[in-house]
Amino acid sequence: MLVYPDGCMDLVWDDDGVWVAGADTGPRTVTRRAGSQISGIRFSPGLLPALLGVPADELTDSVVPLADVGSSLVRSLGTPERAGLAAARLDVDRWVTPTVRALASGATVADVADRLGVTERTLHRRAAAAFGYGPRRLQVILRAGRAIDLVRTGVDLSDAAVTAGYADYPHLYRDIVRLTGRRPAQFRPAQFTPAQSRQRPA
């Protein structure tokens, strides 16, 4: 199974225990034994680090046992039900959600920092601790994710680029290939046929 950056972090339960999947910066392939049982919770950007009490950038591009993050966490977050209840009670820093929304809408890092009343350096430090990387990288990941979602619904590749906020299709192409290892056209729905698109070959 292909896993690529989306700004989120996960808690995963399988036959071997409970795992924390940090924010990804590039694609990775996950394989599972036949017949193995797995469940998980995907946390929106900034939520899981607050729940764990650990800076997100300490977990970037890694999958580690929950016990290695903190033995007490195994008791409080050891099942999906417990983790879900803990997340529902979580009081996340007030700047996190507005920052994600602003970056997703295309606001510049300078604008976001100005809205928060902090320097860009301070915003970068906060973002790394909350999201696993700086605000600019998070913005690139969120924009690529939006484009992929559009392509998956059958939206023309050029139209997906414009709607997601890209200057042109080649820019979208480069970002998606770098983040996922796949060409944008590979995210088209299975029933898609070339006649449905005006887009150049991808």
Q: Flag whether 68 is in a domain.
A: yes
What one-character DSSP code corresponds to residue 61? Answer: T
Question: Count of CB atoms within 10 A of residue 124's CB?
Answer: 18
The alpha helices in 28-116, defined as continuous H runs, are: 47-52, 66-69, 71-77, 80-88, 96-104, 109-116
Please check whether residue 10 is in contact with residue 87, taking contact to mean a CB–CB distance below 8 angstroms: no
Instruction: Express each pLDDT in 151-202 by its tens digit.
Output: 999 999 999 999 999 999 999 999 999 999 999 999 998 755 544 443 433 3
- Decide: 147 and 185 in contact? Cβ < 8 Å: no
Q: Return d(Cα 131, Cα 170) in angstroms, integer.
A: 27
> Does some domain include residue 8?
yes
- The answer to whether position 98 is within a domain reads no
| Residue 34 CA: distances (Å) to CA of 15, 134, 172, 178 | 12, 37, 36, 30
Give the pLDDT score at 33.
79
Q: Quote the CA–CA distance of 71 and 74 in Å, as a whole number.
A: 6
**Is 162 domain-assigned?**
yes
**Same domain flag for 71 and 143:** no
Q: Is residue 93 part of a domain?
A: no
Identify the domain boundary among 53, 88, 123: 88
Instruction: Record the pTM.
Output: 0.88
Kindly report the CATH number assigned to the domain that includes residue 186: 1.10.10.60
Counting the structural domains of the chain, the total is 2
Contact 189, 172 (CB under 8 A): no
Cα separation, 119 vs 75, whole angstroms: 39
The two structure tokens encoding residue 109:
């890092």
> What integer pLDDT is reported at residue 196 of this predicted model?
42
User: Taking a C-beta distance cutoff of 8 angstroms, is the pair 111, 125 a contact?
Assistant: no
One domain, residues 84 and 13: yes
pLDDT one digit per residue (tens) for the chain, 202 residues: 889 999 999 999 998 899 999 999 999 988 877 877 889 999 999 999 999 999 999 999 999 999 999 888 888 898 999 999 999 898 889 999 999 999 999 999 999 999 999 999 999 999 999 999 999 999 999 999 999 999 999 999 999 999 999 999 999 999 999 999 999 999 998 755 544 443 433 3
CB 151 within 8 A of CB 187: yes
Same domain? For 78 and 12 the reply is yes
- Domain span holding position 141: 136-196
